[in-house]
Each structure stands twice: as structure tokens, then as C-alpha cells.
A and B are shown apart, each in its own frame.
Chain A
Amino acid sequence: MSVMVILVAFSILVAAGFLIAFLWAVKSGQYDDRHTPAMRMLFDDRPTVPKKKETREQNKKTMKSDTKAKPEEEPDLNRPAGSVVTLMREEENRYGS
């Protein structure tokens, strides 16, 4: 029967672990805002560390000159503004205010 003691103690320990995880989640504010994180995760990668002005201008020029040659490079600038945002506007209509 002593095996029961170990099992019961272990099961309560596991349950207590989940309880602590829940209390921690509440305390750290994970239940404060249940809407914004859902929208945030749809953003594309964050903007990189600010580049130096010159290199950026150069980048722009090269991109302009061979847009047709390298079509896969261009959407980088536009993508977040496209479908994701329209999608989110719809979201907003549903949830907002």
C-alpha cells in the first residue's frame, strides 16, 4: 500500500505545479489583455537595427533599377501592409469597441 502514498503525493505535486503555473500566469499579467497578443503574432519580422542612411539610399536605388530582375526582393517592403492588415481590419470590426 505504500506505493499508493508515493502515487498520491506525486499526483498532488503535479497538480500543484499546474496551479502554480496558473497563478504565475495571472500574476504576470497574461490574462490582462487577451486580444492584442492575438493580433501581434500576425506581424512579420520586426524591423532590423537601423541601417546607416547611405546604405539604405543605395539599397533603394539598386532595388529600383532591377525590380523586374529580382521580383522576390520587392515584396519585403510591402508585405505587412497587405493581406495581414486587411485581415486585421476585419478582426477589428468584429472585436473593436
Chain B
Amino acid sequence: MKIDSYNQPHPNDSAQGYPVCFHCGELCATTDIIVGDKHFCCKGCRTVYELLDANDLCNYYKLDRAPGVSPQEFGADKRFGYLDDAEVQKQLLDFNDGRTAKATFFIPEMHCAACIWLLENLYTLNPAVTQSKVNFLKKELTVTWHITDSPLRELVTLLASIGYEPRINLQDLERQAEDTSNKSLYYKIGIAGFAFGNIMLLSFPEYLSSGGAVDPWLRKMFGYIILILALPVMIYSASEYWQSAWKGLRKGIVNMDVPISLGIFTLFIRSTYEILTQSGAGFFDSMTGLVFLLLIGKIFQKKTYDTLSFDRNYKAYFPVSVTRLTGGEEISTPVGNLHPKDRILIRNHELVPADAVLIRGSGNIDYSFVTGESDPVKKEIGDEIFAGGRQVGGAIELDVVREVSQSYLTRLWNNDTFTQHSKNSMVTLANQVSKYFTAVVIFLAFVAGLYWLPDQHLALKAFTAVLIVACPCALALSTPFALGSALRIFGRRKFFLRNTEIAETLAKIDTIVFDKTGTLTRPGQARIRFTGEQLDAHQQVWIKSVARHSNHPLSHRIYQRLPGHYLPELANFSELSGEGVMGEVDGHLVKLGRYEWVADRLTESGVGDPEGTLDPAYQTAVYVAIDGEVLGYFTLTNDYRPEMDGLIKELSEQYDLALLSGDNDRERPRLAKIFTKPGQLLFNQSPVNKLDYIKSMREQGRRVLMIGDGLNDAGALAASDVGIALTEDLTSFSPACDAILDAKHLKELPIFLAFAGFSRRLVIASFGLSFLYNAVGLSFAVAGMLSPLVSAILMPLSSISVVVFTTTVTRFRAMQLRWV
């Protein structure tokens, strides 16, 4: 739930024995702030505790030790200043009439039932709140409150202080109206189902008797009721099919909805005619049942994952505002209003929104959003910092060099790849088939009509019957159900596809392109290795103790990886920027840092490398000296995922592989062992280079699968046929893509691809099945013998058997793989 540093004592407090804040878990600098037997680090924490205590909400503390966040920690006073801006408020609030306001916040920290409980009891903490409601899967909190009594900033500050800071970013400001398409699909299904059931019931007399036995008056009445019930289905429930067919035809494409619309339309005309002229019972039961089943297929296909978003661009990660310094004053400015030469202030854990040059402070930039590599990069004054980096450490001042939209990273989104929807042009199997299918059906209808021609009545009957029975309901259902169940099976293996078309495209992939950092390597898992004399347990603890007090990323790594829990007292700690850290532990002087500094250039112990011969990979070496003796050095190397070699080898048998890396080529020798074909390894690739590479591959007629993880891969992911974003933590981050894959399941990629191929073959097989039914139906139709009863049995039967066939076979296959 929380960032590590909250759980551990603050590194700056070397003194032990001070109490820990009951609210936020920080070490208390004073023992003055007490309520009962509970200590607090600051008045802010005490206030929050008192608020919770006064309202009987102290169960909060039982659920998680010290779950809160100190109001000082996040700089509440300045950090949310931008929320007072009228323009920002207007965009963030769902509703505001000057008195009551409503807003929806995304709160990623929400993780258990207790969170829901506390958040829904928000009204006890802030009386201005009239209602707060949690959507747990979406991790959203909707609050209605009196904005006159409590401004937006106050509300957000309260949320942040109890540990639920809402994530407010640029994309929120451009949020579009709620998507209502899903709701209208429910309406359509409801109406179609209602009509289907009732029409079936009212048609019963017709099924049971072959005409004569039913009272003609009753028959007439039932017919009219059926007609009235069928009208909303025809006009409303099936409207999507009319629209889609019409759109397709206007573009000259015969999609699957064309024969469906043709069938439904013929059904409607002929049934209406039969009922009005009393010449027959009509086929409205078949028609409504068909629409109902088709809509069910549509909803099955639309498997959505509430917690995942496939449409994030950089705006979802960029803050709404940034602190700008003008004449010594701190002003909260919307990010879009930043201009070159503006001076901005970036505090701990804030994102740099535009390319800028470091002016003051020591930069320690975490580019994990951009590259997937979580090791912070040290920046000196005068260095350029690219947009998207996150400062870890003290506050820094920067001069903006380029506007947000023109920055190195964000410029990527100006590329046309992001505005074109080239992927949609991929022809789905169903649409390919429907072209020929429609032609054959129309041809057969005419043949049947012409055969009976002397008898005009019979000819018309046969003509319409062919169109009706050939309505490809089963055909239209095979894709949604086969691929929809594949989607669900993938979901169980933490492989989330945006939609069923992606599953189909996945089966046709012939080239796979990997990103290196964060994809083939594990982010934040760089291996640390010690070269030199064997360190004993005491020495390790000493080193760990010194490393703990430094904020340098390399020290942090060493601290994390070395064993030992009880660290001895440290004295005379000092840190020299660019050199290293030193301190005395148990009477021993421990130095960590650059070789020249650690060794004082005096001691020669033989383990150090003479200058210049260092492999570039070892430039990150941290030397260790205890009591003036250099013992060796730590190196941090990229740690490849253990499954990588096997995975690449397995995939290379079937697919063309390539690797795009934003890094330099120091890892080439290691990678060349597994990427054996020439031209597969490309280094020093900028985000735009990656995009162009994928584009050129596609222009060569290849179907490209791209796997990446950072925002720098966003262009390549968008340009590829299928872009898979790999993520370590599903709740956190993934750029816009077609599919999201949990990194733990990366090794299953070949199986996923094989499964997609299997699903595609299954679709083809179920096409065969539905053609079989069509052939049976057509033989009735051509003979002019299609009665409403035959149609009412045949149509649902074919549809349902296709549904059962596809879902069972998919499930069976998944069981074979032990996935279910």
C-alpha cells in the first residue's frame, strides 16, 4: 500500500529510542505531541488521529499499523494549491452548482474492505460531505459535498492525510463524458429478451396446431400483439446492425452485419405481410430470438477489465500543475502554461513535466515511467532532465527548455500513429467470410425464386425463405464466443486483451520485437555482485549501516541487498557528492564510493582496476574500504529475467525476433548469444526510432508484435499490429496498448500465441458447423417448405450449438494446459 520509506524509520534520524508516530510511522523528533499513550511526529498527524478518534473510526489503525501519511510529508499546504484554480475545478468536478459539488477520484491505494469502510464514512470526518461511495474494482471514490463549506483542496488534503491520496493527472482534466454504450446494450438486451419471451408464448398455439384448430379471431389478435412487440426490437434493439451494415456498405465493405441485417429485414417484411394479410403466422419469434442471441454474443465479447486501462498516454502520468518560481514566489501553474525559460520547483516524488535544465539542488531522477528502469539517475547542475523523470530526494529548481508538448518524450504523441486508426483495417475472419457468404446467399435466393417462378406466390416465398434461413446468426456468434472465451482464459493467466480482434490478430503474428530494459530485464532487480576479498558478517553489517544513511541510489541498492537486521550505531557520517560516503561503525572507518576516493590514492591493494581498463558496465562500481584497506567493489549489472533464454530460443523457432533498446550497446555480447541472427539487435533507439522501426517492418508486410513496458515504447506499441505492455504490478502503470501482460507470466508467451492460433482454428471450425445448419435450412427453404416452426427450432438450435461448441472446446483446451 505504501512506499517503503514510510515503513522504515526515516534515514535522517540516526538516534534510536524515539517513539514512532502512531499515525504515519515516522520516528518522532520530539516526545511532546501525545494523546493518551500514543506519540505523534507532528501536530498534523495528531489532528488526523483526533478526528478519527472523535468519530469512532479508530478501527482504521487496527487494520494496518501506522497507515497514515503525515500532512507534512506530502507538503499539503502547497502541493494541492492548484485545486483552488477555478479552471482546474471546473474540469475536475462532475457537477457543481455553487453549493453542492460532486467529484470522482481515482485512489490507487484503496486495497481492502477497510478502505471502503473508511472512505464511505468520510462524512464523519468532514461534515460537509453528504455522500461518498466507493467503486472498489475501479478504485474510484465518488463524493458529493457542500463545496461552500469545504473547498475541493480541503477534501483532497483530508483524503491524502488518511493515506488515500487521489491521483489527479492531466488526463482527468480532459476526461470525456461517461461511456453509456454499455448501458444501452443492457437496455437493448432487456427489450429483445422481453419481446422474445412473450412472442414465443403467443406463438404457441401456432406451433401446436397446424392452422385450423385456432379460433381465427384469437389468431388475429395474437398476430397483432406479436407485431407490436416486435417493433421495438426491430427499431431499437437491432439498430446497431443497421448502422454497422450501412456504414460498411457505404465504404464498399460487406461486413458480417450486412447478411444479418438482410436476414432480419426480410424476416420483418415477410412476417408483417403474413400477419397483416392473415396468410401466415410470421417468423417474429425467430427474429426476436436472433436479435436477442446476437446481443448476448456482443456482451460476451465485451469482456472489460475495470481496473485496467488500455488508453493511457503520457497525460495520465503527468501532474496537473507544477510550482513555478517567479521573483522568489511559488505559484502553482497548470502544466500546459509552461514556457521555455520558466523556473520551476520540483519536490521529492514529483514529476518533471517538461524538458528542463537543472539549476539548483542535486538531481536524482527516476525514469521508470519512461524507460521501465527504476534505478534513479544522478544529475548535476547544468544537466538536461527529460520530461517524465521523477525526482527522488530533495527539492530541485529547473529551467524549462521546451514546452510540455514539444518535449523529448511527449513529442512522440504528435506522430500520426496516434491519430490514425490503422489497426482497425485488419480484416477479421468473419468479415472476410461474409463477403462471399452474402454473394452466395443472394444468388441462391434468386435461383430458388426463379425455379418456382410461374407461381409468383411460391417464388416469393422461396426467395424470402432463403434470405431468412441463411441469416448468419450462428456464424456471427462463433467469433464472439470462441474469442471471448479465449479472452477470459487469457485473463486468468494475467494476460489481458483489449478486445477479441486482438486475439485474432495475435494468431497471425510473424515477427516479435522486444524492448530491453524492463522487458527482458527486471526493473529494480539489478543484481549486485561483490568482487574482492570475502566479506564477513560484521563487515557486511558495517557496510549496510553506512549505505543506509546515504540517499544515493547505489547506496540504496547495496543497503537493500545486503543481509542483516540489527544495524550498529553510526558515527561521523559524511557524504561527499560525486565521491562517496563514509562513517565510523564499531570503531571502524568504512568508506564506500569511487576508487580514487576510497583508496585515498595511497593504499594499493591490488583488487582495484587500473584506470581506463574498466569495462563500461563496471563504471557503476562502488568500492569498499574498511580502515583504509580497499576490500573490493560492488557492481550492479542488469538482471535478465531467468526465463529469457528459454523464451527467446523457443520463439525464434517460429517467429522473427528483434530487440530495440534505448540503452547503449554494452550488453551486446550477452544478448548476441541468444539473438543469433544478424540485424536483430538495435541499440541507442529513441522512442521515435522505435516507432519508425515497427512502421517499416509493417510496410514490409510483416505482422509485428511489440512487447514493451515504458512510455518510451508507447509509439512502438501503437504502431505495431499487437502491442503488449508488460507490467510488474497490474495496478500501477502501463502505456496505451492492445494487451497488458503480468511480467510473471511472460514465459507463457509462446503458449499464449499458440492458444490464439488454436482459437482462430476453432472459429473456422464453428463456421463449418454453422454452414452445416445453413445447408439443412436452405434445403427446406429452396423447397419452399420453411414453416415458422422449422425456423423457430433451427435458428436457436444452430446458434446455441455453436455457442456450446466454442466455449466447451476452449475450456477443454485450457484444462489440458492446466489453466483452469
Q: Do A and B bind each other?
A: yes
Partner of B54, one of A16, A31, A53, A85: A53
Question: Of B20-28, B217-225, B585-593, B644-652, which binds chain A?
Answer: B217-225
Q: Is the interface of B mostly helix, strand, loop or mixed?
A: helix
A10 on interface, CB distance cutoff 8 Å: no
Closest to B221 in A: A5
Contact B225 A12 (CB under 8 A): yes
Contact A26 B197 (CB under 8 A): no
B residues 147-192 with Cβ under 8 Å of A? 183, 186-187, 190-191
Contact B112 A23 (CB under 8 A): no
Partner of B113, one of A12, A22, A89: A89
A36 on interface, CB distance cutoff 8 Å: yes
**Minimum CB–CB distance for A7 against chain B, Å:** 11
Closest to A81 in B: B62
A72 on interface, CB distance cutoff 8 Å: no
**Minimum CB–CB distance for B107 against chain A, Å:** 13
B278 on interface, CB distance cutoff 8 Å: no
B residues 24-74 with Cβ under 8 Å of A? 54-59, 62-63
B202 on interface, CB distance cutoff 8 Å: yes
Q: What are 28 A-B residue pairs whose CB atoms fall within 8 Å in the complex?
A: A1-B217, A4-B218, A8-B202, A8-B225, A15-B198, A19-B194, A26-B187, A26-B190, A31-B183, A33-B136, A33-B137, A33-B138, A35-B136, A36-B116, A36-B136, A40-B134, A43-B113, A43-B116, A47-B55, A48-B56, A50-B124, A51-B56, A77-B56, A77-B59, A88-B114, A96-B136, A96-B137, A97-B307
Most buried by A among B117, B187, B191, B197: B117
B90 on interface, CB distance cutoff 8 Å: no
Contact A33 B191 (CB under 8 A): no
With known contacts A1-B217, A15-B198, A39–B59 Cβ distance under 8 A: no
**Minimum CB–CB distance for A79 against chain B, Å:** 9
Contact A97 B54 (CB under 8 A): no
**Minimum CB–CB distance for B49 against chain A, Å:** 13
Contact B135 A92 (CB under 8 A): no
B111 on interface, CB distance cutoff 8 Å: yes
Whole-angstrom distance between the alpha carbons of A26 and B784 in the complex? Answer: 43
1/0 per residue B182-213: CB within 8 Å of A? 01001100110010011001100000000000
- Interface size bracket, B side: 35 or more
Closest to A27 in B: B183
Contact A1 B215 (CB under 8 A): yes
Q: Total A-B residue pairs with C-beta atoms closer than 8 Å?
A: 100
1/0 per residue A23-57: CB within 8 Å of B? 10011000111011001101100111011010010
Contact A85 B113 (CB under 8 A): yes
A91 on interface, CB distance cutoff 8 Å: yes
B728 contacts across to A, CB distance below 8 A: none
Closest to B194 in A: A19
Closest to B308 in A: A97
Whole-angstrom distance between the alpha carbons of A60 and B236 in the complex? Answer: 63
Contact B112 A85 (CB under 8 A): yes
With known contacts A31-B186, A33-B135, A33-B137, A92–B202 Cβ distance under 8 A: no
Contact A39 B116 (CB under 8 A): yes
Give the number of residues in A that approach B within 8 Å (Cβ atoms).
43
Contact B54 A36 (CB under 8 A): no
A51 contacts across to B, CB distance below 8 A: 54, 56
Sample of 20 further A-B pairs with CB below 8 A, known A33-B138, A40-B120, A95-B137:
A1-B215, A1-B217, A8-B222, A15-B197, A16-B194, A19-B190, A23-B187, A23-B191, A26-B186, A26-B190, A40-B116, A43-B113, A47-B56, A56-B54, A77-B58, A78-B62, A92-B112, A96-B136, A97-B307, A97-B731
B730 on interface, CB distance cutoff 8 Å: yes
Whole-angstrom distance between the alpha carbons of A43 and B63 in the complex? Answer: 14
Closest to B136 in A: A36
Most buried by B among A39, A56, A80, A96: A96
Contact B113 A91 (CB under 8 A): yes
A96 contacts across to B, CB distance below 8 A: 111, 136-137
A31 contacts across to B, CB distance below 8 A: 183, 186
- What residues make up the interface of A, taking CB atoms closer than 8 Å to B? 1, 4-5, 8, 11-12, 15-16, 18-19, 22-23, 26-27, 31-33, 35-36, 39-40, 42-43, 46-48, 50-51, 53, 56, 77-78, 80-81, 84-85, 88-89, 91-92, 95-97
Contact A88 B62 (CB under 8 A): no
A56 contacts across to B, CB distance below 8 A: 54
B191 contacts across to A, CB distance below 8 A: 19, 23
Closest to B58 in A: A77
**Minimum CB–CB distance for B241 against chain A, Å:** 21
- What residues make up the interface of B, taking CB atoms closer than 8 Å to A? 54-59, 62-63, 111-114, 116-117, 120-121, 124, 134-138, 183, 186-187, 190-191, 194, 197-198, 201-202, 215, 217-218, 221-222, 225, 307, 730-731
Contact A39 B731 (CB under 8 A): no
Partner of A80, one of B59, B198, B218, B731: B59
Closest to B186 in A: A26
B58 contacts across to A, CB distance below 8 A: 77
A43 contacts across to B, CB distance below 8 A: 113, 116-117
**Minimum CB–CB distance for A71 against chain B, Å:** 18
Contact A35 B137 (CB under 8 A): yes
**Minimum CB–CB distance for B125 against chain A, Å:** 10
A97 contacts across to B, CB distance below 8 A: 307, 730-731
Partner of A89, one of B112, B124, B187, B307: B112
A78 contacts across to B, CB distance below 8 A: 59, 62
Contact A42 B113 (CB under 8 A): yes
Whole-angstrom distance between the alpha carbons of A31 and B730 in the complex? Answer: 24
Contact B114 A81 (CB under 8 A): yes
Contact B54 A81 (CB under 8 A): no
Whole-angstrom distance between the alpha carbons of A94 and B731 in the complex? Answer: 15
**Minimum CB–CB distance for B192 against chain A, Å:** 11
Whole-angstrom distance between the alpha carbons of A96 and B731 in the complex? Answer: 10
Contact A47 B114 (CB under 8 A): no
**Minimum CB–CB distance for B145 against chain A, Å:** 17
Contact A50 B55 (CB under 8 A): yes
B217 contacts across to A, CB distance below 8 A: 1
Whole-angstrom distance between the alpha carbons of A19 and B236 in the complex? Answer: 15
Whole-angstrom distance between the alpha carbons of A85 and B56 in the complex? Answer: 17
**Minimum CB–CB distance for B747 against chain A, Å:** 21
Contact A47 B136 (CB under 8 A): no
3 residue pairs, one from A and one from B, having the closest CB atoms: A88-B113, A81-B62, A36-B136
Whole-angstrom distance between the alpha carbons of A77 and B52 in the complex? Answer: 13
B215 contacts across to A, CB distance below 8 A: 1
**Minimum CB–CB distance for B289 against chain A, Å:** 16
Closest to B59 in A: A81
